């Protein structure tokens, strides 16, 4: 045997043949007409807060793709398996575990008129939990278990349970980064588009660029970029200060990658306290972000080829 021949194999005349995998066909989420994902390359940029307030402002709209002349029926799905934020932001942290429908599907929980589903609703209480107001149960799962949980949240929730009707729009709060969850979503679900949230810092923008490339690879349309915490509005003089740097790098990134900018939101201290209390800051129509949020919603509608009306 020559040194470069390796180990001898009896009866093998060629390279082994492996069966080809059939491509996975994307499908719609049951009882949902349109899906909008809210994503970020890095954690801590306010993505979940943007997602819940985006869902709220969508629910205040009347548009041509609504199922009736009434306002849009909107739901929120939290796909951040390891760090779910929706239970806290929606004031459902101590809510009872979701019930099952007669068909065996999971019924979403509802608050502020928005049906919600999150892995945070399904985790058992930790036996060593110190404070009943805060759930510290960790999710210690490998990739396959995460994928199975994501598929259950995507396809085993009956979004009709809250109102008896299908949702016009489902807003999905994605985990940060480009891991298993966004890949699973992109491979299995027809997503109408994604909104990518960032802050002005270069370290956040570098991850945004990776996120854009990932969504393009899995054929999820990118509706646009949203700059959060663009400026800080002084509560005394109402002057805007760019605490985290100039938005020029963000705008340059969007231009270079040919992605629309949906808008820029200021850093408002009351947003954080409202989220911790489970209240939606966007319910106050006099708040300083309201006008900008409405403009962002209009940009989102235009990107989807429709025009919204409040």
Predicted confidence band of residue 162 (pLDDT cuts 50, 70, 90): confident
Q: What is the mean pLDDT of residues 214-226?
A: 91
In a domain, 308, yes or no: no
Whether pLDDT at 115 is above 70: yes
- State pLDDT tens for residues 242-284: 778 788 888 999 999 999 888 888 877 677 666 666 676 665 5
8 A C-beta contact, residue 151 and residue 183: no
Query: Which of 129-143, 208-222, 226-240: highest mean pLDDT?
Result: 208-222
In a domain, 21, yes or no: no
Q: How many CB atoms lie within 10 A of CB 6?
A: 8
In a domain, 221, yes or no: yes
Residue 52 CA to residue 72 CA, distance in Å, equals 15
In the numeric block, the tokens 């807060």 are attached to 49
In a domain, 284, yes or no: yes
Q: To the nearest whole number, what is the mean pLDDT of the chain?
A: 80
8 A C-beta contact, residue 67 and residue 34: no
Residue-by-residue DSSP string for 103-134: TSPBPPEEETTEEEEEGGGTSPPPTT-S-TTS
What are the start-end ranges of the E strands in 40-156?
Answer: 74-78, 109-111, 114-118
Q: CA of 73: how far to CAs of 102, 158, 193, 253, in Å?
A: 22, 14, 18, 34
- Residues near 174 by beta carbon (within 8 Å), at least 6 away in sequence: 37, 38, 39, 40, 47, 79, 80, 181, 182, 185, 194
Whether pLDDT at 158 is above 50: yes
Q: CA of 141: how far to CAs of 146, 149, 247, 295, in Å?
A: 6, 10, 38, 40
Predicted confidence band of residue 310 (pLDDT cuts 50, 70, 90): very low
pLDDT at 2: 53
Query: Max Cα separation, the chain?
Result: 85
pLDDT at 309: 43
pLDDT at 94: 85
In a domain, 62, yes or no: yes
In a domain, 202, yes or no: yes
- State pLDDT tens for residues 1-57: 555 555 545 555 555 565 566 667 899 999 999 999 999 988 888 899 999 988 988
Domain that includes residue 178, residue range: 42-124+133-303
User: What is the Cα Rg of the chain in Å?
Assistant: 22
Selection from 63, 53, 61 nearest residue 86 by Cα:
53
In a domain, 54, yes or no: yes
Predicted confidence band of residue 308 (pLDDT cuts 50, 70, 90): very low
What CATH number is given to the structural domain containing 205? 3.40.50.300
8 A C-beta contact, residue 149 and residue 106: no
Task: Give pTM, 2 decimals.
Answer: 0.82
Number of domains in the chain: 1
In a domain, 49, yes or no: yes
8 A C-beta contact, residue 39 and residue 201: no
Residue 110 CA to residue 278 CA, distance in Å, equals 12
Residue 251 CA to residue 260 CA, distance in Å, equals 9
pLDDT at 4: 52
- State pLDDT tens for residues 189-203: 999 999 999 888 888
Query: Which of 80-94, 113-127, 277-291: highest mean pLDDT?
Result: 80-94
């Amino acid at each position: 045997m020559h040194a470069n021949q390796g180990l001898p194999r009896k009866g093998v005349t060629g390279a082994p043949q492996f069966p080809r995998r059939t491509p996975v066909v994307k499908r719609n989420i049951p009882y949902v007409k349109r899906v909008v994902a809210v994503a970020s390359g890095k954690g801590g940029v306010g993505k979940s807060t943007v997602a819940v307030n985006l869902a709220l402002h969508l629910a205040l709209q009347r548009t041509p793709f609504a199922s009736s002349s009434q306002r849009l029926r909107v739901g929120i799905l939290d796909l951040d398996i390891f760090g779910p934020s929706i239970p806290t932001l929606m004031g459902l942290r101590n809510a009872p575990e979701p019930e099952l429908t007669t068909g065996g599907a999971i019924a979403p929980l509802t608050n502020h008129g928005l049906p919600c589903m999150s892995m945070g609703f399904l985790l058992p209480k930790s036996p060593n939990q110190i404070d009943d107001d805060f759930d510290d149960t960790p999710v210690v799962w490998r990739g396959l278990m995460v994928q199975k949980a994501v598929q259950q949240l995507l396809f085993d929730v009956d979004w009709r349970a809250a109102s008896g009707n299908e949702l016009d729009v489902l807003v999905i709060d994605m985990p940060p980064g480009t891991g298993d969850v966004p890949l699973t979503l992109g491979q299995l679900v027809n997503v109408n588009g994604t909104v990518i949230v960032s802050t002005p810092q270069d370290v956040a923008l570098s991850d945004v660029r990776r996120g854009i490339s990932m969504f393009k690879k899995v054929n999820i349309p990118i509706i646009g970029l949203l700059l959060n915490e663009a400026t800080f509005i002084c509560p005394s003089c109402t002057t805007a200060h760019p605490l985290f740097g100039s938005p020029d790098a963000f705008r340059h990134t969007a231009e270079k990658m040919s992605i629309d900018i949906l808008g820029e939101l200021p850093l408002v201290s009351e947003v954080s306290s409202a989220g911790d209390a489970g209240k939606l800051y966007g319910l106050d129509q006099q708040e300083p972000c309201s006008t900008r949020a409405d403009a962002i919603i209009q940009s989102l509608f235009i990107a989807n080829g429709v025009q919204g009306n409040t």
